[in-house]
């Protein structure tokens, strides 16, 4: 079902239509087979880059498209509806570019961003570690002083989307033992000596999107690899994750929309006891609840996007959007399997894949338990103010 959208501009509307066409013709038809085979669609990202879709929210002067977050996130939703590995991959790439775009100096932005935003390069974001997932401030990867003011990195990053296939890695590493204030952000090209990767994780879903450990063994970087000020990395990481959470919310709405569309089509065709199953109240009410939840989640992430576009604080609303949209996606995809009945449990139909993919969205970019903690802290601060 085509979703009616309110765009801030005609250009934004036209962009969404272009993405919907690309997704329907070039992305969605490949998704099931590529997921089953576990093949990473690197060429799809090159196509998106050539279409200007890998730098949408960033300035035109550096190769971006200067699109509003409201538009960018709806692009992510459309891509995720077609193939979550692609939609989430675009979100991760955008997240990986954020530190240089927002905190890099003029020389770094001019040197790095055109290739990062123009589609030639694909990024990965390295924050989590084997023993510091939700507690990001406890990371132990170290960046010790190197030659000429540079750095030597040692450590292991875990759960890295695009690990082993990315062209650059945005790495958070410890430059002092001063807790969260001892973390710095560094830009690491994939060809840097000392960088290696673990085997891709064997996952429940998202099998065509590689997730792997990134190992840093004596990785030597020049002084200009530091993004932002020394010790500013944790603040950069948290600011990046606020935007990343909106990307995951948009992905969740996309997957839920795809599952809902499949369920509606099936319920309109499948007949039992002489009637379409869509005409039975039990199924019809289920579809009604699915549609309502999707619309509510979309409205919530767009509300957060508009706050960000207006330059207003949006972190708490982003956490709400990520929490609500991903829990919604898990519920909607589970209901979609139920609508399909036995056919929902087999790989010949798409519902089971959507359900498997939905689960990871409740975990990435901060688990939903962490989102509740973020929201609770914000609302109790307001209550005590």
Cα distance between residue 200 and residue 98, in whole Å? 25
List of residues 6+ apart from 235 with CB closer than 8 A: none
Determine whether 4 is an active site residue. no
d(CA 322, CA 361): 9
Residue-wise pLDDT tens digits, 107-155: 999 999 999 998 889 999 999 999 887 888 899 999 999 999 999 999 9
Please give the Cα distance from 87 to 250 (Å, whole number): 9
Fold of 235-384: Butyryl-CoA Dehydrogenase, subunit A; domain 3 (1.20.140)
Number of alpha carbons in the 13 Å side-chain half-sphere of residue 269: 7
* Residue pointed to by tokens 């990520």: 322
Terminal C-alpha separation, the chain: 45
Beta bridge partners, 276, equal 271
State in words which class domain 10-117 has. mainly alpha
The residue-averaged pLDDT of 182-206 equals 97
Every domain of the chain and the residues it spans: 10-117, 123-231, 235-384
Alpha-carbon distance of 357 to 259, in angstroms, equals: 11
**Rounded CA separation 165/95 (Å):** 16
Residue 1: pLDDT band (50, 70, 90) is low
Beta strands 271-272 and 275-276, pairing class? antiparallel
- What's the CA angle centered on 244, arms 307 and 91, to 5 degrees? 115
Kindly name the residue from 70, 78, 129, 365 that is annotated as catalytic. 365
Q: Are 272 and 360 in contact (CB under 8 A)?
A: no
For residue range 278-304, list pLDDT tens digits in order.
999 999 999 999 999 999 999 999 999
Q: Is the pTM of this model over 0.85?
A: yes
Answer yes or no: are the C-beta atoms of 267 and 209 closer than 8 Å. Answer: no
Instruction: Assess whether the region 10-117 and the region 123-231 belong to the same CATH fold.
Output: no
pLDDT band at 379 (very low <50, low <70, confident <90, very high): very high
Considering the domain 123-231, what is its CATH architecture? Beta Barrel (2.40)
């Amino acid at each position: 079902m085509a979703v009616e959208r309110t765009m801030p501009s005609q250009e934004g509307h036209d962009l969404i239509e272009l993405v919907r066409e690309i997704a329907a013709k070039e992305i969605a038809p490949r998704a099931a087979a590529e997921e089953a085979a576990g093949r990473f669609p690197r060429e799809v990202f090159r196509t998106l880059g050539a279409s200007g879709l890998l730098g949408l929210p960033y300035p035109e002067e550096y190769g971006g498209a200067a699109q509003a977050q409201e538009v960018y996130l709806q692009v992510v939703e459309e891509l995720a509806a077609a193939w979550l590995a692609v939609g989430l991959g675009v979100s991760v790439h955008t997240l990986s570019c954020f530190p240089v775009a927002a905190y890099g100096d003029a020389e770094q932005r001019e040197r790095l961003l055109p290739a990062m935003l123009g589609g030639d390069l694909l990024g990965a974001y390295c924050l989590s570690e084997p023993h510091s997932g939700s507690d990001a401030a406890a990371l132990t990867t170290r960046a010790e002083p190197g030659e000429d003011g540079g750095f030597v990195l040692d450590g292991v990053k875990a759960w890295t989307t695009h690990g082993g296939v990315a062209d650059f890695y945005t790495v958070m590493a410890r430059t002092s033992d001063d807790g969260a204030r001892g973390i710095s952000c560094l830009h690491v090209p994939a060809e840097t000596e000392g960088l290696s990767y673990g085997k891709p994780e064997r996952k429940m879903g998202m099998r065509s999107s590689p997730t792997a450990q990134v190992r840093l063994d004596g990785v030597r970087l020049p002084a200009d690899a530091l993004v932002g000020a020394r010790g500013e990395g944790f603040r950069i990481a948290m600011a990046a994750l606020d935007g990343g959470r909106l990307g995951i919310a948009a992905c969740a709405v996309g997957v839920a929309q795809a599952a809902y569309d499949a369920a509606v089509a099936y319920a309109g065709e499948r007949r039992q006891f002489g009637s379409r199953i869509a005409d039975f109240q039990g199924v019809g009410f289920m579809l009604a609840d699915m549609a309502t939840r999707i619309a509510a989640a979309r409205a919530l992430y767009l509300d957060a996007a508009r706050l960000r576009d207006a330059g207003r604080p949006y972190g708490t609303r982003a956490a709400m959007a990520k929490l609500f949209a991903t829990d919604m996606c898990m519920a909607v995809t589970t209901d979609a399997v139920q609508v399909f009945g036995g056919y929902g449990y087999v790989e010949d139909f798409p519902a089971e894949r959507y359900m498997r993919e939905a689960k990871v969205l409740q975990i990435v970019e901060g688990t939903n338990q962490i989102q509740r903690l973020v929201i609770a802290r914000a609302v109790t601060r307001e209550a005590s103010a």
